[in-house]
Structure 1
Amino acid sequence: MPVDPWAIDSLTLSGLETRLIGAADVMADGTALGSRSGVRPGDPGLTVSLAGSTINVSAGVAVVAYSGQGVYRVAFPSSVSPGTLTAAHATLSRIDLVYLRVWDNAVDASGLNKGDPVYLAGTPSSTPVAPTPAGTQIYMPLATINVPPSGGGSASVSTAVRPVTVAPGGILPTATAPSSPYTGQYYDDGSTLKRWNGSAWRTVSALLPSFSDQVSMPASFTTGAFTDFTSGNWPPVTITVPQSGMVEITIGAAVANTNTSSSTAWCAWRASGALTEGGSEKTGVSTIGARTYASRAVIRSGLTPGASLTVTPQYNVSSSGTVGSVTRVSDGQLIVKPLPG
């Protein structure tokens, strides 16, 4: 079936055609012609407030989507009041709703063609819930008003129900994950950035490395075993395992042991928490009867995303002479780097 495309000279588009074409500029809701209703991120418009018992909605713009009808774009150039707050119940609380409604006579047979904010009082209850507008209505919630019983304090407004929408591909700020996401979609939950990988939401982070510089050597070395540096000598590093479950751990230092021709010195690390691993040839650098300046990096995978991982610097000397001039593990740095996946 041929349609009227936007924009060709001499063609006249109906309201429905224009709204359906307009859906291309708004984030999809997972349906072929559907869009996500909402206000623009960072836009203070259409904010609900109370002045005594008078309800006010500030100037602003919004997109109101309706199944099969595309998007209605509504703008209020100045503030408007949808009415006066219903008096509180004597003993029970109530949750009221303020919403933006679009009347379209061609759709709802209302006899009206306009947009307006509407106030709907809820039902007093010991467990109150916000009311739902009845009938076939094109609308978008703007706020709820919590009304305590008479003498129980002042009513309060919450805009948590007001949705936000963005252009296709935009990052959506919302506390609730978008429904019907597409692969590569992003949203910001207020503390972290999330990306849908086709099967799950993954946290996106800068994956910055954490590191610890050695402060000093112990006054005397314990010999014969891998031994933790004290946090005062060389602090451990603690990170949260990334979604990939992979980290890269690098340790380096100046190691020396000339106490005898066969004396050894090691700089290594051990892990605890998400990974249990002790100091070994796999996790350190060493010297024998000499001095070495080196670093080593290893990758560990299969860790639990979100778990805490602590990596602690260690030393191991077979025998010890004068600390610093004969036996030495100094100038070290430990780096723990989360890896993307």
Structure 2
Amino acid sequence: MNLRSSWAAETGQTREDTRLTQTGVTTMTNPVQVRSGVLPGSYDGQYRMSGFWTSGTSAMTATVYEGRAIIQGEISQGAYPVTLPSSQDVTFATGDAQFGRVDLIVAKVYDNLYDGSLRNESKVEIIQGVPGPTPLAPAVPPRSLALYEVAVPAGASAGNGGIPWATALKDLRTPVVSLGGILPVEGSVHPGVYPGQYQDSGGALQRWDGSAWVAYPSAIGGIAPAGAVTTATYTGQYRDTPEGVLQRWSGSAWTPAVPGPYFVDNGDYGDTTSTTYTSTLTGRVTNPLAVSFTAPASRMIIVSFGCRMKSRDDHYAYMALRLTQNGTVVNDLNDEYATVAASATLLSASTTRRLSNLTPGATYTLTAYFRILTNTLGLKAGFENTFIRVDPLP
């Protein structure tokens, strides 16, 4: 009989059948087996897990306090629920004369069907380690749940101070919850078993995405709080920063979710006699006036540019922009989209327009160009307080 059942057959249900089909407190590790561990909870709700908590109570004796646990056997043996209804003392052997050792406190199931022990019971007991210069804990026996490692110093005994409990205990307990429950993580972090499984890491709720535990806000597409996420788990993940800047993971780096605005200006006065567009103004220390920006996901930006400008009442002065990407012209100079004025005195003028069909994430550059209307008088067009501003559209 390969398929096992509980409470179906009129006779013949075995202990093994019952263990293999129990579906109570089970954090799965695969489709058949569950994780061995301790049920979480405490008397006052202050602690995530207090079952089988252990403390030293005399020189060579520790007390293991009450708790409930699940101990998984081999795949065909099923899971053993165990309960310690009241505290139990365990006493450690005297330390080796020369070397320290590491002992284990375990909850162990004896099952004569598999171990030939002639016993069918469960016990909290000590598995004694081997003394040595760098002692290691002994292997965990089959059908056992490791609770604590205990470092026993060389020569430790009731007569010379015993075991230093404040430093000797290493907690090995891990919790388990019912199928679909949110697991409170204590001790080792184990991989998930199915996408959509949840765990509480102590500071954040996490979801198993099939390959890694992902912080819950990012798992549902929300904005991860400031400081919660350092390494992104997918392109398009969002996070807040301590400075209050919303960021998006591009696949290789955190970038502003809505980049910009980008701005450049030059307050110096400069002029030109050129009747064709030039990016250089005579009298200015810095030329040209240019600003680079990253195209947003919307593929659109709003561009504003302008200055104080003058020429002559009957000869127009022009300020226009050229858009390039890696030196290639994307949107060229055009009088129809220029800032234009004809005045013998300086006056303020500006233009705003939308540029579309940009490549998201690509870097573009806007450069200012200037000219005066064709003339035979060698007139100059003057420009001051020039600026370019780029606002990405969301």
| Residues 181 and 149 (structure 1), Cα distance of their counterparts in 2 relative to 1, 3 Å cut | same
**Aligned pair partner of 2:178 in 162, 167, 170:** 167
> Does 2:190 match 1:178?
yes
1:91-106 equivalences under 5 Å are 91-106=98-113
User: TM-score by structure 2 length?
Assistant: 0.54
Whether contact under 8 Å (1:26, 1:35) holds in the other structure is yes
Q: Deviations over 1:247-301 (max 9, x none)?
A: 56214669899x99xxxxxxxxxxxxxxxxx83273664312337699x999659
Question: Structure 1: which 5+ runs fail to align?
Answer: 212-234, 261-277, 302-315, 336-341
Cα distance in 2 between the residues matched to 1:133 and 1:209:
40
| Residues 24 and 177 (structure 1), Cα distance of their counterparts in 2 relative to 1, 3 Å cut | same
The residue number in structure 2 matching 1:50 is 56
| Aligned-partner residue type, residue 40 of structure 1 | L
Aligned-residue CA RMSD (Å): 4.9
Q: Whose RCO is larger (CA < 8 A, sep 6+)?
A: 1
1:31-180 equivalences under 5 Å are 32-41=31-40, 42-52=48-58, 53-67=60-74, 68-81=76-89, 83-132=90-139, 137-150=142-155, 154-155=164-165, 156-159=168-171, 161-172=172-183, 173-178=185-190
The alpha-carbon deviation at position 188 of structure 1 amounts to: 5.0
Cα distance in 2 between the residues matched to 1:292 and 1:27:
61
Q: Deviations over 1:303-323 (max 9, x none)?
A: xxxxxxxxxxxxx999764xx
The alpha-carbon deviation at position 96 of structure 1 amounts to: 1.0
Whether contact under 8 Å (2:106, 2:146) holds in the other structure is yes
The residue number in structure 1 matching 2:16 is 16
Cα distance in 2 between the residues matched to 1:131 and 1:196:
32
| Aligned-partner residue type, residue 178 of structure 1 | H
SS at match of 1:17: helix
| Residues 281 and 74 (structure 1), Cα distance of their counterparts in 2 relative to 1, 3 Å cut | closer
| Residues 158 and 2 (structure 1), Cα distance of their counterparts in 2 relative to 1, 3 Å cut | closer
SS at match of 1:64: strand
Greater Rg over alpha carbons, structure: 2
State the identity as a percent.
24
Whether contact under 8 Å (2:304, 2:352) holds in the other structure is yes
SS at match of 2:22: helix
The alpha-carbon deviation at position 334 of structure 1 amounts to: 12
How many residues are aligned here?
274
> Does 2:334 match 1:287?
no
Cα distance in 1 between the residues matched to 2:91 and 2:393:
64
Cα distance in 2 between the residues matched to 1:206 and 1:64:
33
The alpha-carbon deviation at position 191 of structure 1 amounts to: 5.5
SS at match of 1:107: helix
